[in-house]
């Protein structure tokens, strides 16, 4: 487990191995979410980073409701 220190200005450095694994870049924005007493940092992806995001995913099973007359 990699650790990081909270600075007096409440700043945290993301360790290098984590930055590399997530391909984070300087200036990239992150969503900060509190969930069940934990902090999650989620990278905000650009549209170009989302290309192919769902490639190979299972198709959704979708059934349309029957049309109803009013």
Question: Mean pLDDT, to the nearest integer, of 3-20?
Answer: 93
Q: What is the pLDDT of residues 22-63, one digit of tens each?
A: 889 899 899 999 999 999 998 887 777 777 767 777 777 888
pTM above 0.75, yes or no: no
- 41 within some domain: yes
- 5 within some domain: no
Number of domains in the chain: 1
- 29 within some domain: yes
DSSP state, residue 51? T
44: containing domain: 25-49
- 30 within some domain: yes
- 38 within some domain: yes
Q: What is the pLDDT of residues 1-10, one digit of tens each?
A: 788 999 999 9
- 67 within some domain: no
Structure tokens belonging to residue 35:
């969930």
Do the Cβ atoms of 26 and 16 come closer than 8 Å? no
What is the per-residue pLDDT for 4?
92
């Amino acid at each position: 487990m990699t650790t990081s220190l909270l600075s007096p200005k409440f700043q945290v450095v993301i360790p290098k191995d984590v930055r590399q694994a997530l391909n984070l870049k300087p200036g990239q924005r992150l969503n900060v979410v509190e969930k069940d007493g934990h902090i999650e940092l989620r990278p905000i992806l650009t549209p170009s980073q989302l290309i192919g995001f769902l490639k190979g995913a299972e198709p959704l099973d979708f059934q349309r409701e029957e049309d109803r007359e009013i």
